[in-house]
Amino acid sequence: MNDLRVVVAGHVDHGKSTLIGRLLYETGSLPQQVADRFDGADGSPEAAAFAFITDQLSEEQEGSFTLDTAQAHLRTAERVYTLIDTPGHREFLKNMVTGTTRAEAAVLVVDAAEGPLPQTYLHAYLISMLGIRQVIVVINKMDSVSYNHKRFAFLAQQLSTYLEKTGITPTTVIPLSAQQGDNVVTRSDRMPWCRTPTLAEALDDLIPMERDGDQPLRFLVQCPFPMDGRRAILGKVISGTLRPGQPLVFGPAAFETIAISVRIGEQETHAATAGQCIGAFLQDASGVERGSVGFVGDHAPVITDHVGARVFWISPQSLGVNDAVEILCGTQGRRGRVEKITAVIDPASLETMEADATHLDDSQIAEVSIRTDSPLCVDPVEIVPELGRFALLQHNRITGGGVVTGRVKGPCVAPEAAHALHG
């Protein structure tokens, strides 16, 4: 069975790292000499230091907080998980987002006594915005509310209602205590009212994301490469299938040619599929360069210099209207400007905090429109994720990111693709 990458998110101090430590310890996923350190005198583990398993930096251990994202491997009878720990402090949101963009599913951790707090909402909103659809909610520290059923039921209702509004139906909501070990791997007898699976069981119920093989071909060019006196085109098939003999169009310049042969390493292949990095030899490679996107003529991406998007900003310097940004979409890099910040969104209420704003601050989310200095290829994020999402850069550093939302204007070579985006 395939492995699964799961991000653990939530407000600071709600117990994310401790929960990961408990999962690793109880499933026997830790190396023996690490596990031995937690064995307490009475046979039950010393849970207080579980967070140190992923919080390995001395600053993290001294300060009892997570600074940067880390990953650990969890083994159950079903499969291997990559658990992605993330920091809950607002100022480390860039590290949280870095971890979350690698995940296929999420565990949202909420403190039973405190309930959802600002980073709970912000993280949940980002999880939804980044396209993660499988979310397990855990109400942690149930020991601190005397394993009270009413408190759990209230929070479960509150969080489910909120998540539904962001487009997520939680897989399950689990009452547990990472510190005490209730319902993490071992079913607790302290909550006889509880009908949910344990967290380990709920993880095993998740479904790995599969790429749909029927999508239109997109061949993302990384670089031309001189090979045996020819110009090989190195790149990745991000969607669909590329076969030798296939007529191709490379956007945004609409350069037409034919794929003569396709190689993976030194081997010729008769069909390169989504996810594979290949070398293609073309009849004419002169019009193809880094950032070109290969496709089949009647299934073109949208080619535009004007994108509408939902973005998150993760830089201490705010982003103002008319500010210059670099946009990186796949291997396409473009200089651009923020034309309009249509709406700054409040992740807790999901309402517009400020319409037609002048700037976007660190950790804020907004609807914006961006104009680029030359056209680029984009697709709806649900059809070709790699061409429906992008990073924003300033001074050679990623300072934000986002997803194309569909309000795309500008020159367009493919009405049917534009229709998909508008629709």
Partner 1 sequence: MERLEELEHRSVYIIREAYASFRKPGVLWSMGKDSTVLIALCRKAFLGTVPFPVIHIDTGRKFPAMYAFRDRWVKTWGLRLVVARNRTSPPGGGDYSDKLACCTALKTEALKQLIHDRGFDAIMLAIRRDEHGVRAKERHFSPRDMSFRWDYHDQPPELWDLFGAQADDNAHFRVHPLLDWTELDVWRYIKQEGLPVVDLYFSHGGRRYRSIGCEPCCEPIESEAATLDDILHELETTRIGERQGRAQDKEAAHAMQQLRALGYM
Residues 244-273 that bind partner 1 (CB under 8 A): 263-266
Is residue 232 involved in binding partner 1 (CB under 8 A)? yes
Beta strands in 31-125 (DSSP E): 70-75, 80-85, 105-111
Residues 69-88 that bind partner 1 (CB under 8 A): 69-73, 82
Please report, for residues 4, 206, 220, the alpha-carbon distance to residue 209 in angstroms, rounded to integers and kept in the order given. 8, 9, 21
Residue 10 or residue 401: which is nearer to partner 1 going by CB? 401
Is residue 209 involved in binding partner 1 (CB under 8 A)? no
Residue 129 or residue 191: which is nearer to partner 1 going by CB? 129
Query: What is the H or E stretch that residue 123 is in?
Result: helix 118-129
Binding pattern to partner 1, positions 3-42, x when CB under 8 A? x------------------------x-xxxxxx-------
Is residue 207 involved in binding partner 1 (CB under 8 A)? no
> Binder to partner 1 among 76, 78, 90, 101 (CB under 8 A)?
101
- The rounded Cα 233 to chain-centroid distance in angstroms is 28
Is residue 314 involved in binding partner 1 (CB under 8 A)? yes
Is residue 277 involved in binding partner 1 (CB under 8 A)? yes
Residue 288 C-beta: closest distance to partner 1, Å = 13
Residue 91 C-beta: closest distance to partner 1, Å = 10
Q: Is the peptide bond before 385 cis (omega within 30 degrees of 0)?
A: no
> Binder to partner 1 among 247, 275, 320, 415 (CB under 8 A)?
275
b/e code 155-188 from CB counts within 10 Å (16+ = b): bbeebeebbeebebebbbbbbbbbbbbbbbbeeb
Is residue 379 involved in binding partner 1 (CB under 8 A)? no
Residue 83 or residue 303: which is nearer to partner 1 going by CB? 83
Residues with Cβ within 8 Å of 64's Cβ and at least 6 positions away in sequence, in order, are: 51, 55
> Binder to partner 1 among 122, 178, 341, 393 (CB under 8 A)?
393
C-alpha span between 200 and 192 (Å, rounded): 18
Is residue 49 involved in binding partner 1 (CB under 8 A)? no
Place of tokens 């007529």: 247
Q: Which two tokens stand for residue 189?
A: 């007898």
| Partners of 326 in the β-ladder | 335, 393
C-alpha atoms less than 13 angstroms from C-alpha of 316 in its C-beta half-sphere: 2
Residue 400 C-beta: closest distance to partner 1, Å = 9
Residue 239 C-beta: closest distance to partner 1, Å = 13
Sort residue 345 into left (φ over 0), alpha (ψ -120 to 50) or beta. Answer: beta
Residue 29 C-beta: closest distance to partner 1, Å = 9
What is the 8-class DSSP label of residue 45? B
Do the Cβ atoms of 307 and 345 come closer than 8 Å?
no
Q: What angle do CA 354, 355, 356 make, to 5 degrees?
A: 120
Q: How many residues bind partner 1 (CB under 8 A)?
A: 60
Q: Which residues bind partner 1 (CB under 8 A)?
A: 2-3, 28, 30-35, 53-54, 56-59, 67-73, 82, 94-95, 97-98, 101-102, 211, 222-223, 225, 227, 232, 234, 236, 263-266, 275-277, 279, 290, 314, 328, 331, 385-386, 389-391, 393, 396-399, 401
